[in-house]
Structure 1
Amino acid sequence: MAPSATPTVKLNNGVEIPQLGFGVFQVPDDETTAAVTAALETGYRSIDTAAVYGNETGVGRALAASGLPREELFVTTKLWNADQGYDATLRAFDAGLGKLGLDHVDLYLIHWPAPARDLYRDSWRALERLAEEGRIRAAGVSNFQPGHLRRLMDGTELIPAVNQVELHPGLQQSELRAFHAEHGIATEAWSPLAQGAVLGDPALAAIAARYGKSPAQVVIRWHLQLGNVVIPKSVTPARIRENSEVFDFALTDEEMRAVAALDRDLRTGPHPDELN
């Protein structure tokens, strides 16, 4: 995958994010550097981490060792629930930036709404400040439902550029994606392969066989054609490469409908209203 071959999505502030990125959820810090290095060597330029993953340092080591110009990289990290609140958010951002070894990040996300804490609006004011200062190129959220988004945007000038949510053929979030489209928010999919839970479906196997691809490649292609930003994760170099080889085929409308038929409210993670 040549970096130039990866399409981008233009966010609502004009910043462009690569549509296919690399996630490091559940990758131990001591394994993260090798995984991110393999991804960068494959051609990925967008790396997604989070404070709670405990591997921002490992990501930073890989970025520093890559020798790639900073402007070629798109780095996302996230604010953890325990650090929500205006001042706490600013402190947490500084800590994460230090671990990454960067002077700015491209996208900073509030990781969960954590509604029982009721602090995400205060955290958003901190993200607005960071954006004004140029320390983040884009501000967004993760795991927000329409109700959370409406409350966040009430009275604010800065609309989230991205909402990163669990999204895969088993959990397609149609209502939420429609809300995003209405308000100019990009949809980014975490757990895009449902941690493998959907990959054995006969419909995916049939499509994969037709193109000489794997079911995982079919699902990633489905995301891309929906317009989602997608961040598959792997620590295996061969799988990292396979996940990137999705730009040499396209699903037909009928095949897109066959994947859409797999929607069944299948969550691999917690519901956003329940994690605090």
Structure 2
Amino acid sequence: MGRLVPAVTRALDILELFLDGDGTLSAPDITRRLGLPRTSVHELVSTLVARNYLAHVPEQPGRFRLGVRAYQLGSRYAEQLDLAAEGQRVAREVAETCGETVHIALLEGTDVIYVAKVDSTHAVRMVSAAGRRLPAHCTAVGKMLLASLPEAALAERIPADGELTAMTEHSVTSPAELHTQLALIRDRGVAVEQRESNPDVSCVAAPVRDRAGRVVAALSVSVPMIRWSEERCAELAGLARKGADELSARLGHRGQP
């Protein structure tokens, strides 16, 4: 790596300050928080304003906010993100931590589609593949995604008088029961499925959010029943949350939804 340019580093430090708080700062705020000379801050801010990386706040004289150029760069970065590719990277990290099978899935209608997968390192493991489609109500990722829908959208996809197909004897087949489960999932922030899509496997899943805070995918950890327990479920729920949060961050999400 070549030598870092101090002026560029300081300019970037200034821009990154606007990621916190209400997104507006004054020159004295910047001077105080970065410990830079007042004249240097004035010159750097003036340059950033001239290049549209910062803009004056009309209703607050002397204060600045991010400018349109910063938005354009962020938008271009977001356009280049590939959920499947980023998901595969994060799934690999989670799988390396827990040794179990990790999936990333999207919701399409009343089904989930797996877009990324990393296999368990154990001899006994779940057999699946990226691209596979399953009924959402039978999977942890699907329940997580259904629970994230607005009530009207959920009612349209899972009507109260509809029928739910069973994949195993443990699958939920009652829309009313499913809606009750989804309410609990919203409260807990994770979804658990025990032997509902595969009689020998249980899963735990957490939501993945985009930069606007919308749930766009879910990350799950799947475990054969021979390695499943309440303690293991709690441990993997924490890993699923951490992995989902990491993938959300890579998609541009910041903070709480």
Q: Choose between structure 1 and 2: higher strand proportion.
A: 2
Would you call these one fold, judging by a TM-score over 0.5?
no
Larger Rg: 2
Ranked by relative contact order (alpha carbons within 8 Å, sequence separation 6 or more), the top structure is 1
User: Given the two structures, how large is their TM-score scaled by the length of structure 1?
Assistant: 0.29
User: Given the two structures, how large is their TM-score scaled by the length of structure 2?
Assistant: 0.30
